Structure 1
Amino acid sequence: MRTFSEIHSITEVDQFIRSNQLALLFVSRTNCSVCHGLMPQVQELMDHYPEIQLGHINADHMEEVAGHFSIFTVPVILVFVDGKEYIREARIVHMDRFEEKLDRIYKNIAQ
């Protein structure tokens, strides 16, 4: 199973997005049970998408991320292609729909 790179500042976030053609950010909080349940599912799914770079942000440690990305709840999954946001999933993520969206992007970009 792939692992997420921990991101600790807005500068790191912006650099992560800019330096990776395909980037996924997973935003969570420490005491969020939904976050803790969803993250392993996303990690497992990402085994099918090796070109997507994975980043994790703990919003408890970087509260400014909420304003930077207009995040109102967690968990949030953001997928960027060439620096532009293409997918945003928040709170309750339907993994089958999320995978369909990733497939469309991935087939057009990474292949």
Structure 2
Amino acid sequence: MKEMTELHSLAAVEHFIKQHQFSFIYISRPGCTVCHAVLPQLRLLLDQFPKIALGHINADDVEEVAGRFSVFTVPVLLLFIDGTEFLREARFVHFEQLEERLKRIYQLYEDE
């Protein structure tokens, strides 16, 4: 399963995004049952993409994350490439579609 970095401040999130060419941010809340179901599936999916770093933010601990990334519901999955948001999924994630989108994006950067 994909290794995940816990991020405990907005500064840590910003640093994580800048530090990795491909950074995937997972925003959740402890009481969210959908969040608990989506996370293991996401970690398994991201195993296919070794260059994508996964970071997790608890929106209850880092409340300002909602304003910074325009989060209205959880979970939110954000893919950043070179510091720019490239992909966003929220609440109900269609993993087959997400996998196809990630494969296309990843392939584009592999071909460079």
TM-score normalised per structure 1 = 0.97
Q: Which runs of 5+ in 1 are unaligned?
A: none
Aligned-residue offset at 1:3: 2.2
Which residue number corresponds to residue 37 of structure 2? 37
The size of the alignment, in residue pairs, is 111
- 1:51–1:110: 8 Å Cα contact kept in structure 2? no
- 1:28–1:59: 8 Å Cα contact kept in structure 2? yes
One-letter amino acid matched to 2:24? L
* In 1: Cα distance, 2:53 partner to 2:2 partner: 10
Aligned-residue offset at 1:100: 1.0
Within the alignment, does 1:23 sit opposite 2:23 as a pair? yes
One-letter amino acid matched to 2:78? L
Matches within 5 A, 1:1-111: 1-110=1-110
Aligned-residue offset at 1:36: 0.1
RMSD: 0.8
Q: Which 4+ residue blocks in structure 1 deviate beyond 3 angstroms?
A: none
Q: Which runs of 5+ in 2 are unaligned?
A: none
Identity %: 50
Aligned-residue offset at 1:109: 1.4
